[in-house]
Amino acid sequence: MSALTHEKPDLLGMLPEEIDALFRARGLASYRSVQVVEWLFQHGARSFDDMTNVPKSLRSECAEHYSVTDLKILKVQVSQADRTRKFLLGLSDGAMVETVVLPEGKRSTACISTQVGCAFGCPFCASGKDGLARNLSVGEIVDQARRARFHPDIGNLTNIVLMGMGEPLANYEATAKATRIFLHERGFALGKRRVTISTAGYLPGLEKLAEDDLPVRLALSLHATDNATRNRLMPINKKYPIERVLEACNHLLLSRRTPLTIEYMLIEGHNDSLGEARRLAGICQSLRAKVNLIPWNPISSSRFRSPSEERILRFQAELRKAGVLAFIRRSRGADIDAACGQLRASSTTKKA
């Protein structure tokens, strides 16, 4: 289930060194590729015509042989509660994805999608309601961050989290390469602690990450501490049970020292008991992980409910009593359906 292929190589989906090599192969001076890379990643050029200090002849040559992904902004919604912005972005084949930008004063975090839809169908999450249409290309992932970085109403982009629509580790190669562009000093030049990849526990991707040298943070969407409960909430657990996922995370921690955060969505009557909190504390202690507690965010046609504030605080207190760093991640952008688990975009492409 691959991303849309481009007839021309997409420069936005390439590392700076790869663009350098392309230009050398065409016999162009090295500083020309440096200029183009700067325009793409440091100035947000959306076409070769935007690159005003590059000779017109070279711009024409680039346009003839290469492309630059340019996602179309179809709609922007701004939360009246906290100024969170949600972008509905159009892809070249008519598919759509959503990207969220969370402002923090003069700084901001972009929550990036990696797939059109999601294959795993967690009943508490809107992203999988229509299933999976396709993976996003490297350029389509990177351009979401560029849209945030160069939007006039958004502050300095300081963090990227790949936890929008889709499972990033199920689109591993594109996710990993986009991440390298975010980290690259000639790309987005973000620090390794500024990029986080989220996973629902996709074991093949976790195993690839353990073999890779990608220096990023990892967030595991756990949401339950036993297989029976997790099977109901996260169907992926039926194929990759919790024990195997936690073992893979432990291996990753030992081999790479990758910082781990456990994302735990609290759903009333399903996973919010004190016994669940104690089991979660044991998991966190074994993995030296911190926890983000996320009160469930409403989606249409769902039977779930968020626990009361009292139950949420009791759950957090139980974790802290065991020495676990536990934070409550309050909803951002819930009034525009931009909070965790609420992203959803339709597609005119058929599912692969």
What per-residue confidence (pLDDT) applies to 348?
44
User: What's the predicted TM-score (pTM) here?
Assistant: 0.95
Residues 59 and 147 in one domain: no
What per-residue confidence (pLDDT) applies to 153?
86
Residues 58 and 90 in one domain: no
What per-residue confidence (pLDDT) applies to 352?
38
Q: What is the rounded CA–CA span in Å between residue 314 and residue 319? A: 9
Q: Is 350 among the domain residues? A: no
Q: Which domain holds residue 21?
A: 11-65
Chunked mean pLDDT (size 10), the chain, 352 residues = 68 98 95 98 96 96 96 96 96 97 92 97 95 97 96 91 98 98 98 96 96 94 98 98 97 87 98 98 97 96 94 98 97 95 71 40
Residues 157 and 50 in one domain: no
What per-residue confidence (pLDDT) applies to 350?
41
Nearest to 188 by CA among 136, 135, 143, 137: 143
Q: What is the rounded CA–CA span in Å between residue 85 and residue 151? A: 11
> What are the catalytic residues?
98, 340
| Final residue in a domain of this structure, among 24, 45, 65 | 65
Q: Find where tokens 């690839």 sit.
A: 208
Residues 175 and 60 in one domain: no
What per-residue confidence (pLDDT) applies to 48?
97
Burial class of residue 264 (count of CB atoms within 10 Å of its CB; 0-12, 13-18, 19+): buried
How many domains are there within the chain?
2
CA atoms within 13 A on the CB side of 32: 18
Residues 115 and 190 in one domain: yes
Q: Rg for the chain (alpha carbons), in Å? A: 21
Q: Is 351 among the domain residues? A: no
